[in-house]
Amino acid sequence: MKVWVDADACPGVTKETLFRAADRAEIETILIANHSVKIPPSRFIKMVTVSSGFDVADDEIVKRLTAGDLVITADIPLAAEVIEKGGLALNPRGELYTEQNIKSILNMRDFMDTMRASGVQTGGPAAMSQSERQAFANQLDRLITKFKQQKK
Domains of the chain: 3-121+140-147 (3.40.50)
Number of H helices, E strands in the chain: 5, 6
- Give the predicted TM-score (pTM) of the model: 0.88
Cβ atoms < 10 Å from Cβ of 128: 16
Per-residue confidence (pLDDT) for residue 87, from 0 to 100: 97
Nearest of 76, 83, 73, 75 to residue 14 by alpha carbon: 73
Instruction: Identify any residues that bridge with 89 across adjacent strands, giving them in sequence order.
Output: 71, 97
Name the strands in the sheet holding 88-90, side by side, starting at the edge strand that comes first in the sequence.
Answer: 45-49, 29-33, 3-6, 70-72, 88-90, 96-97
Q: What burial letters (b/e) apply to 18-57, b meaning 16+ CB within 10 Å?
A: bbebbeebebebbbbbeeebebeeeebbeebebeeeeeeb
For 31, which DSSP code? E
Q: What is the pLDDT along the chain (152 residues), one digit of tens a residue?
A: 999 999 988 999 999 999 999 999 999 999 999 999 999 999 999 999 999 988 999 999 999 999 999 999 999 999 999 999 999 999 999 999 998 888 888 877 777 787 778 887 777 677 899 999 999 999 999 999 999 898 77
146: CB partners within 8 A, 6+ apart? none
Per-residue confidence (pLDDT) for residue 80, from 0 to 100: 96
Per-residue confidence (pLDDT) for residue 119, from 0 to 100: 84
Per-residue confidence (pLDDT) for residue 30, from 0 to 100: 98
